């Protein structure tokens, strides 16, 4: 790891982030991810995903 990256990670400290995405339940794949729920909703609405096989999901990740 580079020194710059080490310093940035030390500043962040372990922290939880809420992520949002569009999940394809038929193929069991996460196909779009963003930190902003509104952006994911917009992408979902504009892209015409099939509501029977796709949905917006929320999950938490932790940077350590």
Residue 4 lies in a domain: no
More confident residue, 11 or 56: 56
Question: Using one digit for the tens of pLDDT, what is the confidence trace for 5-48?
Answer: 778 777 777 789 999 999 999 999 999 999 999 999 999 999 99
Residue 37 lies in a domain: yes
What's the total number of domains in the chain?
1
How far apart, in whole angstroms, are the C-alpha atoms of residue 41 and residue 19?
12
Residue 8 lies in a domain: no
Under 8 Å CB-to-CB from 8, ≥6 apart: which residues?
A: none
Question: Using one digit for the tens of pLDDT, what is the confidence trace for 38-55?
Answer: 999 999 999 999 999 999
């Amino acid at each position: 790891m580079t020194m710059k990256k080490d310093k940035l990670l030390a500043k962040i400290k372990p922290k939880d982030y809420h992520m949002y995405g569009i999940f394809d339940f038929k193929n069991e794949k996460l196909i779009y991810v963003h930190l902003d729920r509104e952006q994911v909703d917009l992408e979902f609405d504009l892209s015409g995903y099939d509501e029977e096989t796709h949905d917006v999901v929320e999950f938490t990740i932790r940077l350590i």
